[in-house]
Structures are given as C-alpha cells and as structure tokens.
C-alpha cells in the first residue's frame, strides 16, 4: 500500500532568501576576503544539502564540514565546490576522503605521512590544510612548532599540496579581546615565518562568526562564517555590525484544547497550577524533538498576535500553553515557537538565554528532530 504523504504538525521553516541576504551582508563586511561557509552539523540544523546548494550558487569558495560522512553526503547531493573537513581524521578514513575529494585538516606528521603514502598509491597530489593551535588547546599543531612541521611537509612529502593554514579563536565572542589578539599575533608570526621560508599557501584564515563581527584584523584572505550565515549572533557580547535575518522558524499546530479551572494542575509533577479559570492548548512537540525541557514554565510562544506562556513541564512529545479566557482558538491553529509575526518575535538568542545555553545548541538540536519546509 502506498504511504500517504501528510503535512507534519510541527516543523521548521527554513528561509533561503534570508540565508542569501546574510551572505551578502557578510561579504560587504569582509571586503573581498573569500568565504569558507561552515555547513557542519547539517548546516547547524538547517539542512546541509539544501543550504549547500544555495551557497554553491552564491559562489562561496569552500564549504566546511566536521566529518567525512558529511562531505560524502554533499557530494551525493551533487555539490561540486571544494569541501574541507575542519576536524581531524584517522588514517583508516583516507581512502574515503580521497574518493569524495575532501580536503583534510592536518595537525601532525603521522597523518601527513599517511596522506602522502595514499597520494603516492593513487598517483595524485592531495590538498591539505594545516591547523595551528594558537591557544584553543584542542586540535592543531602548536604555533611554536607549526613552521617546522609545514617546512618538513613541503620538503619531504611530495604528494601533499599545502592548500590552507588556519587557527581557531577560543574567546572571540567575548567582550575582552586580549586573548584573541594574542592568538592573532601568534598566527601572524607563523605566517611571517613561512614567508621567510618562501612557502606560499593559498588560503589563510582565522575569523569565525564572532571575529567577522568584531575583529577585522583577523580576516586575512578567507573567513569562516557559521552561525551568522543562519542569522544569529554568537553571544550578547559581540558587535552587531552585520544586519542579519534569522533563517529558521519553528511552528506547530494545536491538537487539543481544554478548559482548566482555578487550582487545577498541568503536566508531570504538577509544577504549574492555574491561578484562574483558563483554556490551555496542547502542541505536538517536546524534548525528543529538540524543544528543551528547561523551557518548562519559562518558554513562550506566539498565538494570534500575542505571546502566551508554556505551562507545566515540557514532555517528550507534547507541551501545554496557556491561552487565557475565551481565546477563540480552534484545533489546527498555527503557533509560532521560534520566529516572528508582525512586530512580535521569539528569537533563537532569547530562547537560548532563557535556558542558559548558546544559540548554536538551540538550532542544532531542533534541526535533528524536526522536518523542514524550505521557503525561497
């Protein structure tokens, strides 16, 4: 029997026109620097294939992912522009990496040797990027050792082609830029050392979303917009120097309406009790779909031109909202959980602040659990 296609009761709207707008505004800000668009984690929950197709049409220079599987998925979707894997890989993944024409990140001699051997077997040069750890303390070769490693790769590994070098800022989204400037200084020192050695590397990049907004000294010839591509600011402390339009909206529909009398409770644990007679509505979304349990008794939604509260505990698949007395609601009515209508909005940043997390977590989590509708 053929499966009947039905419209989901809760979904994400992804506004691709807003994505294009954000990219244009970022380009105005960085004044000629290339764009490495970060589409890891399924484009931060927005859908890597659809987002990458648009970015490719918009002529970004590279796409950045975290895993080989993500690069494979983009190639299967027909994406042809360069894709770089920003995180590390293991030697056992090299053949798959070459097959999907991805550019790996190298931080040590061991991986560099393994890549060179694979290139020799395949009789082709493999493009690589070298990551410099200037203070993140995570991936990358320490900045004091970087020029020596790169010099050795250039001299002894003929099947590797140095395509880029980069570093990653640990605190660019904070108001105090002291440590970020120290990282920038260390990265520039590595670049200077390589220039003295006459080693030319096409791409040099350091600026993530936060640095694009507030550290023009870190642009070099390539920048890495991630969160700001999707219309959200990384923290409350970053400059709002680039106007952004949110790309994601979260919507649901009422599946139940119920009269609640004063004193009656709602949901698990009876953590909310009505202070007056009211009407509540049930929406088919919960923490299994990425709507955080920490929004219990603290979240808000937009219904018929006003904000109304989420009441009681967020459940696995359901939440309850308080519509007040005589709300004129009907089953199937649309409710906005993230997004806006008219002058009212509930932003990703506000939602993150309510539960004490960051915007990245909100969009990535929702993107894993919900279907998407793309608006052009």
Domain co-membership, 167 together with 252 = no
Is the pTM higher than 0.85?
A: yes
Domain co-membership, 45 together with 107 = yes
Give the structural domain span for 99.
16-230
Mean pLDDT along residues 81-88: 96
Mean pLDDT along residues 292-299: 97
How many structural domains comprise the chain? 2
Domain co-membership, 85 together with 223 = yes
Domain co-membership, 35 together with 165 = yes
**Domain end call among 195, 230, 265:** 230
Whether 268 is a known active-site residue: answer yes
Domain co-membership, 69 together with 216 = yes
Cβ neighbourhood burial of 179 (10 Å; 0-12, 13-18, 19+): middle
Q: Report how far Cα 134 is from the mean position of its chain's Cα atoms.
A: 23
- Asked if the structure places residue 4 within a domain, the reply is no
- Asked if the structure places residue 6 within a domain, the reply is no
Domain co-membership, 226 together with 321 = no
Domain co-membership, 215 together with 261 = no
Domain co-membership, 204 together with 143 = yes
Domain co-membership, 70 together with 192 = yes
**Distance from C-alpha of 342 to C-alpha of 302, rounded to nearest angstrom:** 11
CATH code at 168?
Answer: 3.20.20.10
- Asked if the structure places residue 305 within a domain, the reply is yes
- Asked if the structure places residue 356 within a domain, the reply is no
Q: Which residue has the tokens 């560099």?
A: 112
Domain co-membership, 219 together with 281 = no
Domain co-membership, 257 together with 131 = no
- Select which of 175, 268, 306, 368 is catalytic: 268
**Distance from C-alpha of 4 to C-alpha of 125, rounded to nearest angstrom:** 49
Whether 198 is a known active-site residue: answer no
Task: Round the average pLDDT of the chain to a whole number and report it.
Answer: 96
Instruction: Check pLDDT > 80 for residue 370.
Output: yes
- Asked if the structure places residue 299 within a domain, the reply is yes
- Select which of 40, 127, 131, 154 is catalytic: 40
Mean pLDDT along residues 199-222: 96
**pLDDT digits 0-9 by tens, 140-183:** 999 999 999 999 999 999 999 999 999 999 999 999 999 999 99
Return the pLDDT at 1.
58
Instruction: Check pLDDT > 80 for residue 2.
Output: no
**Distance from C-alpha of 252 to C-alpha of 282, rounded to nearest angstrom:** 10
Q: Return phi, psi of residue 360, to 5°.
A: -55, -45
Domain co-membership, 182 together with 289 = no
Percent of the chain with pLDDT over 70: 99
- Asked if the structure places residue 87 within a domain, the reply is yes
**pLDDT digits 0-9 by tens, 87-99:** 999 999 999 999 9
CATH code at 292?
Answer: 2.40.37.10
């Amino acid at each position: 029997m053929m499966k009947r296609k039905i419209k989901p009761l809760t979904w994400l709207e992804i506004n691709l026109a807003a994505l294009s707008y954000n990219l244009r505004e970022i380009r105005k800000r960085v004044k000629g620097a290339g764009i490495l668009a970060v589409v890891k984690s399924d484009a931060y929950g927005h859908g890597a294939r659809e987002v990458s197709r648009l970015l490719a049409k918009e002529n970004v220079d590279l796409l950045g992912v975290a895993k080989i599987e993500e690069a494979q998925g983009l190639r299967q979707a027909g994406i042809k522009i360069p894709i770089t894997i920003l995180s590390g890989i293991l030697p056992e993944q090299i053949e798959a990496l070459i097959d999907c024409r991805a550019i790996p990140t190298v931080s040590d001699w061991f991986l560099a040797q393994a890549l060179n051997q694979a290139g020799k077997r395949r009789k082709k040069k493999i493009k690589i990027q070298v990551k410099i750890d200037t203070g993140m303390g995570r991936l990358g070769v320490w900045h004091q050792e970087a020029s020596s490693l790169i010099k050795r790769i250039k001299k002894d590994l003929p099947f590797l082609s140095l395509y880029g070098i980069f570093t990653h800022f640990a605190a660019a989204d904070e108001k105090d830029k002291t440590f970020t400037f120290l990282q920038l200084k260390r990265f520039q020192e590595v670049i200077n050392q390589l220039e003295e050695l006459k080693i030319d590397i096409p791409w040099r990049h350091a600026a993530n979303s936060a640095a694009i907004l507030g550290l023009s000294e870190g642009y070099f010839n390539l920048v890495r917009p991630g969160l700001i591509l999707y219309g959200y600011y990384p923290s409350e402390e970053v400059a709002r120097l680039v106007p952004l339009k949110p790309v994601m909206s979260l919507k649901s529909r009422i599946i139940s309406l119920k009269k609640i009398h004063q004193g009656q409770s709602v949901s698990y644990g009876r953590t909310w009790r009505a202070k007056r007679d009211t009407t509540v509505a049930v929406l088919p979304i919960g923490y299994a779909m990425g709507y955080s349990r920490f929004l219990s008794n603290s979240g808000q939604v937009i219904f018929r031109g006003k904000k109304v509260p989420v009441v009681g505990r967020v459940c696995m698949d359901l939440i309850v909202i308080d519509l007040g007395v005589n709300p004129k609601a009907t089953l199937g009515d649309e409710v906005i959980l993230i997004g806006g209508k008219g002058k009212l909005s509930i932003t990703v940043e506000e939602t993150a602040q309510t539960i004490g997390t960051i915007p990245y977590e909100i969009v990535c989590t929702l993107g894993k659990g919900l279907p998407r509708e793309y608006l052009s």
